Structure 1
Amino acid sequence: MNNSTKGLALCALLSVTGAAQALTVGFSQVGSESGWRTTFSESVKAEAERRGIDLKFSDAQQKQENQIKAIRSFIAQGVDAIVVAPVVETGWKPVFMEAKRARIPIVIVDRNVDLKNDSLYVTRIAPDFTEEGKKAANWLMNATAGKCNIVELQGTVGSSAAIGRMEGFNSVIANYPEAKIVRSQTAEFTRAKGKEVMESILKAEGGGESICALWSHNDEMALGAIQAIKEAGLKPGKDIHVVSVDAVDDIFKALAAGEVSATVEMSPHMGGPAFDVIEEYLKTKKKFDKWIVMDGKVFTTENYQQEYKARFVNQ
């Protein structure tokens, strides 16, 4: 074999080796119901591209049946790993068992699943939703001296984010006899539904003058509710405190305008940690803690300025 032939053979070998090392990962996303969710999806895609990962992306449009179909499709394609941001907690055991039988590891991100057998997934990377609810409630109780009539916009019924945030918030206000939730209704984590539901709540509450605060399970619903509050002739952030979760860009604009009182940060950048776990697991079969917790700050009208500058002024 001459030098030229050897060089071609080596290039072919390197090409095959490189192709073998490139990972293919299936990602089943809840949907695109919010700005936060869109940022989350784009962050995962960008991180996959940076690492040279072939990402198979599926938008479930907030339907679990679409996610189950997507996971089965990923299994049929023989992906190296699957990342799932589940719509709801229950109903995952059969399809997760199918992935395990195919020896395809699953990493859960964001919302949780209700599985007695935690060997069906590697780990979950997510914030503590209960803690987010507690942070929101603690801020509100401090701001109102524990005296407040609260209306609540819930997220998707059955989702771990809605369940955890509700439980955390309620556990705090239970210690304040003069604080109570007077109205609570789902707005499905969307801005349009947040506006619609808040309009009906304001009418039911005689225009809203007796409402001290709006507690929203995410920023998108809060932003919709803010429009309803303004259209009702009230000043959000002043007449009615607005407290929510996510810390998306638009909520910082509302903080700067004084229309939001506080938001609890939930980082959308979970792709990096998820891919770190997948790469390590595929190499070593390392056992990870079943929950890798991502923490977040509480931003208010008093401390939002530095983050606002980093997001908007320095770009």
Structure 2
Amino acid sequence: MKTQLRFASLALAMMLASGIATAADIKVGVSMSQFDDTFLTYLREDMDKQAKSYPEGDGVQLQFEDARADVVKQLSQVENFISQKVDAMVVNPVDTASTARITKAATEAGIPLVYVNRRPDQAKLPKGVVAVFSEDVEAGKLQMQYLADKLGGKGKVVILLGDLANNSTTNRTKGVKEILAKYPDIEIEQEQTGIWLRDKGMTLVNDWLTQGREFNAVIANNDEMAIGAAMALKTAGVKSGTVLIGGIDGTPDGLNAITKGEMTVSVFQDAKGQAIGSVEAARKMARNEPVEQNVVVPFKLITPDNVKDFK
């Protein structure tokens, strides 16, 4: 009887093992710089949808972790993924200048690594590491050129910067200033960081208005700060459209603000495109399939004339 039980147990174990083997989804650890960032929320949701789109047993299981804007915490999450022996990792870096240790840990462990949305600052990534991103300099150029044309090439502008540790901030602002260099009659009145947040954008613009500063346009590194600027101007009794407001990302709230005339322009950053690109790259690398090392997802200008195409 005991022998029969042992055989039954063994048969059950083999069946279970067989079942697990046929459902061998690729396990991918994902460290996001912060969950409460609006654009990154859309990116995370689209990554989850992409992972679930593959057939059962040939798909991807994502394990999301929130680094809470902490470089040390993000490195710890990567080290935990490595100890769990995940098949691949996707990292949205907290600080693009501090990714060397993450890259080193992944390559030494032989685990494929995909950077998404924010490309590390280093010029060349090592083998086994890829980046899926959009060219932020181009976003700044598209945004500022449209506003410079609307301003007729003259006036005063204020710039709301994103997180200063993020190369998206540096590059978007670089793009803005490359366009401004062609327009000597457009002057930068103020330039401060709103760290990507709506309430910080609102506070900064409100402070500038209280100080009596005059400006014809607000150039924001993202839609959230642009919306905050629009809220501050509205509270101060400034009529919509009097001060031009530009954002970047093309979030649903940003699109609505353009539709209502509260924002002048935005630049669409394709969260879905970045999500598909990063999950697909991780999946291919885990299966030893070839991938491009730099996958660039293009930006697109959003104006009142074409905003409906992005909804």
Name the TM-score, length of structure 1 as normaliser.
0.88
Counterpart contact for 1:97–1:120, Cα < 8 Å: no
Match for residue 38 of structure 1 among 36, 41, 46 = 41
Alignment of 1:86-235 (within 5 A): 86-115=93-122, 118-119=125-126, 121-204=128-211, 206=212, 208=213, 210-235=214-239
Cα gap change, 1:127/1:95 in structure 2, threshold over 3 Å: closer, same or farther?
A: closer
The whole-number CA distance in structure 2 between the counterparts of 1:60 and 1:243 is 29
Partner residue in 2 for 1:49: 52
SS in 2 for 1:197: helix
Q: Are the counterparts in 2 of residues 33 and 189 from structure 1 also a CA contact under 8 Å?
A: no
User: CA separation in 2, counterparts of 1:125 and 1:251?
Assistant: 23
In the alignment, which of 46, 65, 84 is matched to residue 91 of structure 2? 84
Q: Deviations over 1:238-265 (max 9, x none)?
A: 1100001000111121112111100000
| 1:111 Cα deviation after fit | 1.0
Distance 1:12 1:34 in 2: 41
Q: How has the CA–CA distance of structure 1 residues 84 and 120 changed in structure 2, closer, same or farther, with 3 Å as cutoff?
A: farther
Work out whether 1:281 is the aligned partner of 2:285.
yes
User: Is 2:254 aligned against 1:251?
Assistant: yes
In 2, Cα distance between the equivalents of 1:278 and 1:255? 35
Deviation at 1:41, TM superposition (A): 1.3
Separation in structure 2 between the aligned mates of residue 32 and residue 17 of structure 1, nearest angstrom:
33
SS at match of 1:78: coil
Take 1:172 and 1:285, find their aligned partners in 2: how far apart are those partners?
Answer: 41
1:45 alignment partner AA:
D
AA of the residue aligned to 1:168: G
State the distance in 1 between where 2:33 and 2:196 align. 11
Cα offset for 1:271?
2.2
Q: What residue ranges of structure 1 are gaps of 5+ in the alignment?
A: none
SS of equivalent to 1:24: strand
Query: 2:14 and 2:65 mapped to 1: Cα distance?
Result: 37
What is the DSSP-based 3-state SS (H/G/I as helix, E as strand, rest coil) of the residue aligned with 2:261?
A: coil
Q: Which residue, out of 295, 300, 305, partners 1:302?
A: 305
- In the alignment, the residues of structure 2 paired with residue 180 and residue 18 of structure 1 have an alpha-carbon distance, to the nearest angstrom, of 63
Decide which moves more: 268-277 or 168-177.
268-277
Over 3 Å counting, the alpha-carbon distance change for 1:10 and 1:73 in structure 2 is closer
Match of residue 58 from structure 1: 65
Q: 1:177 to 1:157 in 2, by over 3 A?
A: same
Query: Does structure 1 retain, via aligned residues, the 8 Å contact 2:153–2:186?
Result: yes
Q: Which amino acid aligns with 2:245?
A: V
Post-superposition shift, 1:286? 2.3
Which letter maps to 2:102? V
Shifted more, 189-198 versus 276-285: the winner is: 276-285
Task: Indicate the percent of aligned positions where both proteins have the same amino acid.
Answer: 27
Deviation at 1:235, TM superposition (A): 2.2
How many residues are matched?
297
Opposite residue 160 of structure 2, the aligned amino acid is: L
User: In structure 2, what is the Cα distance between the partners aligned to 1:112 and 1:106?
Assistant: 12
State whether residues 202 and 225 of structure 2, in contact with CA within 8 Å, keep that contact through their aligned partners in structure 1. yes
Q: 1:94 Cα deviation (Å)?
A: 2.1
CA distance in 2 between partners of 1:196 and 1:66 (Å): 29
Asked if structure 2 preserves the Cα contact closer than 8 Å seen for 1:84 and 1:108, the reply is: yes
* Amino acid in structure 2 at the alignment position of 1:126: F
Pairwise CA distance, 1:34: 3.2
Structure 1: how far apart are the matches of 2:157 and 2:86? Answer: 47
C-alpha spacing 1:121/1:171, structure 2 compared with 1 (3 Å): farther
Cα–Cα, structure 1 residues 287 and 297, in superposed 2: closer, same or farther, change >3 Å?
closer
Q: For residues 117 and 132 of structure 1, what CA distance do their matches in structure 2 show?
A: 22
Question: Does the alignment pair 1:17 with 2:21?
Answer: yes
8 Å Cα contact 2:114-2:282 kept in structure 1 = yes
- 2:284–2:291 contact (8 Å) kept in structure 1: no
SS of equivalent residue, structure 1 residue 261: coil
Code of the residue aligned with 1:138 in structure 2: it is Q
Deviation at 1:144, TM superposition (A): 1.4
What's the RMSD between the two structures over aligned residues?
2.1
